[in-house]
């Protein structure tokens, strides 16, 4: 079964998170530029960065080469990184939000509900089993996704080919991780910190844009809290 694609719309994403138990102090906001002046306007703290990018042949070829290279060279990945595989079409927006929240549960106090239950049940599962659980067991999460994916759109076909894809970037134990449910494993992009996560992720987002320089259809979002 295919899901409706989720919009890269902060209002829709925030409703999604709040319906699943994320306190409303945490919000998805637009990141309007990747230079330091624009990044300075993003509310702090930043817990995750989400990139929506065109899933082009160039990206597919790069991702395939990267996967093979890392399988040979290896990389350090913390066992505490929560990662799940995408096993259903068009679920990448939801998976990016799950990755963003699940890797920050030490700072986000989730309310009781299906989202917290999903994370608890799947804590020791493989990425593949987590993806299957999201599809087959967490019906309420899928229902919220389907409901909000249709907000503000006139026509949606879940079986229509979608050529854009969401990934999340989080900092965990001193490293920046790219979490993409279509990949075999998290990608460790090197040293980072809670204070530099936004700037470090922005550099990787620029690399995505450089690889597809003729396409301008990129959107960057951040999971933040507006602290008083």
Average pLDDT, rounded, for the chain = 85
Q: Which two tokens stand for residue 179?
A: 């979490």
> Does the structure show a pLDDT above 80 at 31?
yes
> Does the structure show a pLDDT above 70 at 21?
yes
CA distance 3 to 139: 12
| For residues 187-204, average pLDDT | 98
pLDDT at res. 183 = 94
Does CATH place domain 10-225 in 3.40.532.10?
yes
| C-alpha pair distances (Å), 193 with each of 26, 29, 45, 58, 104 | 19, 20, 11, 30, 13
pLDDT at res. 156 = 40
Distance of CA 59 to the CA centre of its chain: 17
What proportions of the chain, in percent to the nearest 5, are helix, strand and coil? 40, 20, 45
Q: What is the pTM of this model?
A: 0.89
Q: Is 92 a catalytic residue?
A: yes
pLDDT at res. 55 = 85
Q: Which residues, including other chains, have CB under 8 Å from residue 60's CB and lie 6 or more apart?
A: none
> Does the structure show a pLDDT above 60 at 9?
yes
> Does the structure show a pLDDT above 50 at 213?
yes
Q: How confident is the model at residue 221 (pLDDT cuts 50, 70, 90)?
A: very high
pLDDT at res. 144 = 59
Could you report the per-residue pLDDT of 103-152, keeping only the tens digit for each? 999 999 999 877 888 889 999 999 999 988 877 654 556 565 456 555 54
Query: Which residue of the set 92, 99, 145, 205 is catalytic?
Result: 92
Query: Which residue of the set 99, 145, 165, 205 is catalytic?
Result: 165
> Does the structure show a pLDDT above 50 at 19?
yes
pLDDT at res. 216 = 75
- Higher confidence at residue 160 or residue 7? 7
CA distance 104 to 45: 12
pLDDT at res. 158 = 42
């Amino acid at each position: 079964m295919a899901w409706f694609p989720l919009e890269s719309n902060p209002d829709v994403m925030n409703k999604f998170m709040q319906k699943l138990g994320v306190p409303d102090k945490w919000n998805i906001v637009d990141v309007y530029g990747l230079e330091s002046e624009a990044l300075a306007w993003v509310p702090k703290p930043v817990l995750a960065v989400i990139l929506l990018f065109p899933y082009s042949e160039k990206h597919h070829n790069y991702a395939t080469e990267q996967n093979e290279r890392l399988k040979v060279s290896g990389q350090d990945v913390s066992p505490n990184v929560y990662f799940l595989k995408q096993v259903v079409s068009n679920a990448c927006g939801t998976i990016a939000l799950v990755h963003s929240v699940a890797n920050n549960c030490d700072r986000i106090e989730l309310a009781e509900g299906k989202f917290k239950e999903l994370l608890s049940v799947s804590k020791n599962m493989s990425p593949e089993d987590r993806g299957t659980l999201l599809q087959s067991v967490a019906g309420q999460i899928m229902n919220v996704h389907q409901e909000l994916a249709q907000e503000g759109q006139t026509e949606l076909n879940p079986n229509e080919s979608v050529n854009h894809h969401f990934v999340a970037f989080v900092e965990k134990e001193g490293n920046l991780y790219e979490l993409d449910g279509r990949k075999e494993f998290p990608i460790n992009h090197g040293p980072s910190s809670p204070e530099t996560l936004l700037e470090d992720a922005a550099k990787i987002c620029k690399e995505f844009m450089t690889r597809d320089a003729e396409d301008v259809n990129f959107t960057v979002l951040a999971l933040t809290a507006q602290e008083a």
